[in-house]
Chains A and B, each alone.
Chain A
Amino acid sequence: DVKVTQSSRYLVKRTGEKVFLECVQDMDHENMFWYRQDPGLGLRLIYFSYDVKMKEKGDIPEGYSVSREKKERFSLILESASTNQTSMYLCASRGHQSHEQFFGPGTRLTVL
């Protein structure tokens, strides 16, 4: 079974703080993704990575950066958290041959 884990289920941060969200997958997948999910807006892609040290912007990259130093780990960074970044953050991974994406449990981030 594909296993995608995320560092925290719930996180509360203050405006202006630097926030790190980590995602780890154990299936040797090449591709990893960060989404945020908000009521009424659905899933929106922030960034994705198709290889170590490679990254591509998704639909809403502003205010975020990512890091992929190892194949199994993909980090999302909020350089200076703002209240409009309060959301559910979901990490996903997929292998090279398939378009099926598998999600981690999600991190519900609240920025006060």
Chain B
Amino acid sequence: QKEVEQNSGPLSVPEGAIASLNCTYSDRVSQSFFWYRQYSGKSPELIMSIYSNGDKEDGRFTAQLNKASQYVSLLIRDSQPSDSATYLCAVNMGAYSGAGSYQLTFGKGTKLSVIP
């Protein structure tokens, strides 16, 4: 069973702090990793993609990937109340052929609350 695991939270951080969201995955051959943000009652919105080991920065967001540890994380610097949402980790866990290559496996999400 291919799995993506996230701490469900809620994770509460004060405004201006760094929020750290973590995700582990079970399939060692996974190549593509994504973070989605989902506000209550809304659909998921893609905020970060990462494909190589290391860090990728986009504004206040940094994604970190460690394939050896099968671990991907999202850091949000200078957290704002508007960052309060559920963050979904998604992984492409299929091989590069067959039906599995089209799919993403999603974690159940971590709920983040940024306290003013």
Contacts and interface: CB of A to CB of B under 8 A. Distances in A.
Asked if A pairs with B, the answer is yes
Interface of A: 31, 33, 40-43, 45, 48, 50, 56, 58, 90, 94, 99-106
Interface stretch (B64-72, B74-82, B102-110): B102-110
A58 B104 CA distance: 11
Contacts of A100: 34, 46, 49
Given A90-B43, A99-B32, A103-B45, A58 B103 contact: yes
19 contacts: A40-B108, A42-B88, A42-B106, A43-B106, A48-B103, A56-B99, A90-B43, A90-B44, A94-B102, A99-B32, A99-B104, A100-B34, A101-B34, A102-B46, A103-B43, A103-B44, A105-B43, A106-B42, A106-B43
Contacts of A106: 42-43
Interface residues of B, number: 20
A102 to B, nearest CB: 6
A28 to B, nearest CB: 17
Contacts of B44: 43, 90, 103
Given A42-B106, A43-B106, 11 more contacts: A48-B102, A50-B102, A58-B103, A90-B43, A90-B44, A100-B46, A101-B46, A103-B36, A103-B43, A103-B44, A106-B42
A45 to B, nearest CB: 6
B4 to A, nearest CB: 9
B84 interface: no
A5 B104 CA distance: 20
Contacts of A94: 102
Contacts of B73: none
Given A42-B108, A42-B109, A43-B88, A105 B102 contact: no
B73 to A, nearest CB: 19
Nearest to A58: B103
B24 interface: no
Interface in B76-115: 88, 90, 92, 99, 102-104, 106-109
